[in-house]
């Protein structure tokens, strides 16, 4: 089932990116552009991300740094998301 109709991104693809370490809609957008056009899918992406475990979130919960290196920071800020409706 499509999550992002603007870019033809499926729920399975979002889940695969999440399994690969994407924990936020912004990180999903960096991986596949989902959520970067009309923005109507961002809440659905958030819901999908909320279902799984996030290794980075677990690190933050433990008080440890979740991002390492300049590349991780640059990647996290690579795509601006539109305001959710």
Could you list the residues that contact ligand FES (CB under 6 A)? 4-6, 34-41
- Nearest approach, Cβ of 24 to ligand FES (angstroms)? 15
Q: Closer to ligand FES at the Cβ: 9 or 23? A: 9
DSSP letter assigned to residue 82: P
Q: Closer to ligand FES at the Cβ: 59 or 79? A: 79
- Nearest approach, Cβ of 51 to ligand FES (angstroms)? 18
Q: Closer to ligand FES at the Cβ: 45 or 54? A: 45
- Nearest approach, Cβ of 25 to ligand FES (angstroms)? 10
- The secondary structure of the chain as a DSSP string is -EEETTTTEEHHHHHHHHHTT--SHHHHHHHH-TTSSS-TTHHHHHHHHHHS--HHHHHHHTT--S--HHHHHHHHTS-PPPPP-
């Amino acid at each position: 089932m499509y999550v992002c109709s603007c870019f033809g991104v499926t729920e399975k693809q979002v889940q695969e990116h999440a399994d690969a370490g994407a924990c936020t809609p912004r990180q999903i957008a960096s991986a596949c552009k989902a959520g970067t056009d009309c923005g109507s899918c961002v809440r659905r992406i958030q819901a999908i991300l909320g279902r799984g475990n996030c290794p980075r979130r677990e690190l933050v919960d433990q008080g440890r740094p979740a991002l390492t290196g300049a590349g991780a920071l640059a990647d996290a800020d690579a795509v601006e998301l539109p305001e959710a409706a």
